Amino acid sequence: MAASKDPRPCSIADALALVGEKYSLLVLREVCLGNGRFDQLVRNIGAPRDILATRLRRLVDAGILTKRPYSERPQRFEYRPTQAGLELEPVLWTLKEWGDRHLRADSGTPMVLEHHCGNEFVPVVTCRACGEEARHQELTAHPQVPGWTVGGPAAA
């Protein structure tokens, strides 16, 4: 039985418990960009080296990154995303989109992604079933766990 003071069971919370610590998603960003070496990560992210080391251990343990040598003698390593790591990338794209629109409206984006269709890549989140772009007011939440409810719609 869950102690009644436990927080809502939620996959978002679970995911954030793994990748929600400071720097973790930035590590994933760099690694997805192909910058997987320790010193590159330190420079590009701006994280303290010891914190970065613990984050990397955690992400490797979680199966989001792998650490592989790109040189024996001298031993040198590189971190790369696993399949699970690559599947987290959509989160980065949608965060980037939001940041570009809400925090960089003036200054312009510091990074353009190009899709292989030839256009600038702007992510849109759609419904797998019908293909439509998803909107808050067209979604209804159904908790599956007894005791947890949701309030009414929360439009602004």
The distance of closest approach from Cβ of residue 31 to its own copies in the complex, given in angstroms and rounded to an integer, is 6
Binding flag, residue 78, DNA (CB under 7 A): yes
Q: 23 to 42, contacts with DNA by CB under 7 A?
A: 23, 37-40
Residue span binding its own copies (CB under 8 A) among the ranges 48-56, 69-77, 129-137 = 129-137
Binding flag, residue 48, its own copies (CB under 8 A): no
Binding flag, residue 43, its own copies (CB under 8 A): yes
In terms of C-beta density within 10 A (0-12 exposed, 13-18 middle, 19 or more buried), how is residue 79 classed? buried
- Tokens for 156, please give them: 């602004």
Query: Do 27 and 58 contact (CB within 8 A), yes or no?
Result: no
Binding flag, residue 96, its own copies (CB under 8 A): yes
Exposure string of 104-121, with b = 16+ CB inside 10 Å and e = fewer, is eeeeeeeeeeeeeeeeee
| Contact string (CB under 7 A) for DNA, positions 43-62, x = contact | ----xxxxx-xx-x------
Query: Which partner in DNA, its own copies, none is near 88 (CB below 5 to 8 A by kind)?
Result: its own copies
Residues in the chain: 156
Q: Which of 33, 26, 10, 13 is nearest to 59 (CA)?
A: 26
Q: Which residues bind DNA (CB under 7 A)?
A: 21-23, 37-40, 47-51, 53-54, 56, 67, 73-78
